[in-house]
Amino acid sequence: MKTAIVVGRPGRKVRLSKIDPDDTAGVTKEEALERGVELGGTLDELQETFYAEHRRSILIIFQAIDTGGKDGSIKNLCRGFNPAGVRIASFKTPTQIEVGHDFLWRVHKATPAKGMIGIWNRSHYEDVLIVRVHKLVKKKVWKARYEQINNFEKILTDNGTTILKFMLHISEDEQMRRLQARIENPKKQWKFSPADLRERSLWDDYQKAYEDAINCCSTKHAPWHVVPANHKWARNLAVIQTVLETLKKLKPRYPTLLFDPKTVTVQ
């Protein structure tokens, strides 16, 4: 089933203003929900095999503006996974210890081991996004990080990690609706902060920062996937389908047994 994902390519500029966050590739909500359930079963089987194989790893990165849907995407993706084979990390404001190291230190130690799928809610890209928008370091510092990020991701892929990077793309109007919904829903008010409104006022700056991060760091070994995300059901289908296609290409296999099960009797 077709999705509306835009994949970044080296040398090809992505313009977020040209990507419709309402795009569903012609798929209806009913079709997306039905297809998502079907794919979920296959995805779970492949993840189990990948975990048992224990040869390679997968790193899935979610980035988005506030209310973009990172939590919801992760929750939906992990719905049927074997939790033993998944590690989720959320990267918030750096601690004093983390600030005392280079900007990649805290993420490098969270990279997935063999057989594991690592899922990151935010990532090292915060250091060319919020750090840039709020001018926390000089331009020459954050600008140099694009190449450093590309080199870091190349090290990971050269050592058996497949990287999937999702930028969940919503509109400014959709963000307004979601923020208002958080304020009005007692069960979601805890997710709202007045600081969200200050961040919202920097919308254009964030859009430019995201565009540059995508265009500078979409490589052959780790391209960006821009997911139209105004419709949560379309977003979820696009993500799960992309992860499933990636696992299929890896063709995981159960490990070769070091014994003949026919000779074993359990008493």
88-101, pLDDT tens digit by residue?
999 999 999 999 99
Report which DSSP code applies to 219.
-
Statement: residue 190 has pLDDT above 90:
yes
The predicted model gives 232-256 an average pLDDT of 97
Q: How confident is the model at residue 30 (pLDDT cuts 50, 70, 90)?
A: very high
Q: What is the pLDDT of residue 80?
A: 80
Q: What is the pLDDT of residues 211-221, one digit of tens each?
A: 999 999 999 99
Question: One-letter amino acid identity for 57?
Answer: S
Question: Confidence class of residue 11 from pLDDT cuts 50, 70 and 90?
Answer: confident
For 264, phi then psi, to 5°, come to -105, 130
The contacts found for 172-175 with CB under 8 angstroms, 24 or more apart, are: 172/203, 174/21, 174/67, 174/230, 175/65, 175/66, 175/67, 175/68, 175/200, 175/203
DSSP 12: B
Residue 1 has pLDDT above 90, yes or no: no
CB 167 within 8 A of CB 64: yes
Residue 163: helix, strand or coil by DSSP?
Answer: strand
Architecture of the CATH domain 6-263: 3-Layer(aba) Sandwich (3.40)
Q: Two tokens at 58?
A: 């997968």
Distance CA 243, CA 36 (A): 12
If 0-12 CB within 10 Å is exposed, 13-18 middle and 19+ buried, where does residue 195 land?
exposed
pLDDT over 90 (residue 199): yes
Q: Where are the domains of the chain?
A: 6-263
Residue 55 has pLDDT above 80, yes or no: yes
Spell out where 122-260 has E strands: 161-169, 224-228
Cα–Cα distance between 3 and 242 in angstroms, integer?
A: 9
Distance CA 140, CA 148 (A): 13
Residue type (1 letter), 207: Q
Task: Report which residue type is found at 42.
Answer: T
CA dist 234 and 93 (Å) reads 30
SS3 171: coil
Q: What residues contact residue 10 under an 8 Å CB cut-off, 6+ apart?
A: 218, 219, 220
pLDDT grade for 234, boundaries at 50, 70 and 90: very high
At position 155, the amino acid (one-letter code) is I
Distance of alpha carbon 108 from alpha carbon 131, whole angstroms: 19
**Among residues 155, 98, 156, which one has the least CA distance to residue 127?**
98
Cα-only R_g, the chain: 20
Distance CA 151, CA 103 (A): 14
